[in-house]
């Protein structure tokens, strides 16, 4: 009766608990990266003991793989925006600027990747998922030559922008007026959308 009274104390439900752990893991990995997020912290975020995490997922590494897979699948905001036929650079820029504003972001998959880049295993997992889920889709939607390279540079720009704005919080990008950023970023995306001459 020590713990039951302080919390709503979720019913004993394996599936729900598993889901809660996974969600907590996604948030923690996005915030601190693979090495930075501890199993106890993740467990705490789900209102659960550390050991239950290992009980359900086997190990931290397997938990990470599952969390990344889910996050990437959910990170579908920017993809459609870019791959739809009539997209303008200004639109893409506006969306990107919007979703890199708050702490919590739909670009969770990218966030995890950025913060886990130091871990070799994490990087390998991330590369595979990025390549298959984003790079190929964008490249396919681009017309003209060097589509793969242009898609790659777009992803680089997105990742770098997020890194500087959200992770490093470089003032020039983090505190800038969104309108001004659109003015700067829009034409850049336009260049990448346009077929290379």
Nearer to its own copies, 51 or 172 (CB): 172
Q: Would you count residue 10 as binding DNA (CB under 7 A)?
A: yes
Nearer to its own copies, 131 or 143 (CB): 131
Rounded CA-CA distance 21/19 in Å is: 5
* Total Cβ atoms within 10 A of residue 179: 10
Which of 19, 51, 146, 184 is close enough to bind DNA by CB under 7 A?
Answer: 51
User: Residues 6 or more apart from 187 whose CB is under 8 A from it?
Assistant: 89
Q: Would you count residue 156 as binding its own copies (CB under 8 A)?
A: yes
Which of 50, 77, 87, 123 is close enough to bind its own copies by CB under 8 A?
Answer: 123
Q: How far is the CB of 1 from its own copies (least distance, A)?
A: 38
On whether the CB atoms of residues 20 and 7 are closer than 8 A, the answer is no
- 113-114-120 Cα angle (round to 5): 65
Q: Would you count residue 86 as binding its own copies (CB under 8 A)?
A: no
Nearer to DNA, 97 or 113 (CB): 113
* Total Cβ atoms within 10 A of residue 35: 13
- Measured CA to CA in angstroms, residue 98 lies from 75, 107, 137, 174, 177 at distances of 14, 11, 22, 12, 11
Q: Which residues bind its own copies (CB under 8 A)?
A: 32-36, 113-119, 123, 126-127, 130-131, 135, 139, 146, 148-153, 155-161, 163-165, 167-173, 176, 180-181, 183-185, 187-188, 191-192, 196
Q: Which residues bind DNA (CB under 7 A)?
A: 1-4, 10-14, 17, 37-41, 47-52, 54-55, 59-61
């Amino acid at each position: 009766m020590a713990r039951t009274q302080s919390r709503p104390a979720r019913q004993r439900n394996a599936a729900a608990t598993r889901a809660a752990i996974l969600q907590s893991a996604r948030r923690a990995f996005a915030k601190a990266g693979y090495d930075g997020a501890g199993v106890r912290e993740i467990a705490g975020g789900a209102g659960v003991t550390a050991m239950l995490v290992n009980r359900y997922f086997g190990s931290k590494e397997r938990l990470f793989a599952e969390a990344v897979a889910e996050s990437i699948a959910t990170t579908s905001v920017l993809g459609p925006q870019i791959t739809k036929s009539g997209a303008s650079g200004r639109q893409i820029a506006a969306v990107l600027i919007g979703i890199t504003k708050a702490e919590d972001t739909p670009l969770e998959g990218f966030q995890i990747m950025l913060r886990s880049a130091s871990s070799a295993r994490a990087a390998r997992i991330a590369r595979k998922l990025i390549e298959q889920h984003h790079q190929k889709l964008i490249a396919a939607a681009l017309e003209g030559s060097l589509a793969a390279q242009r898609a790659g540079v777009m992803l680089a720009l997105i990742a770098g922008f997020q890194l500087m704005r959200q992770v490093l919080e470089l003032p020039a990008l983090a505190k800038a007026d969104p309108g001004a950023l659109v003015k700067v970023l829009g034409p850049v995306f336009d260049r990448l959308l346009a077929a290379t001459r």
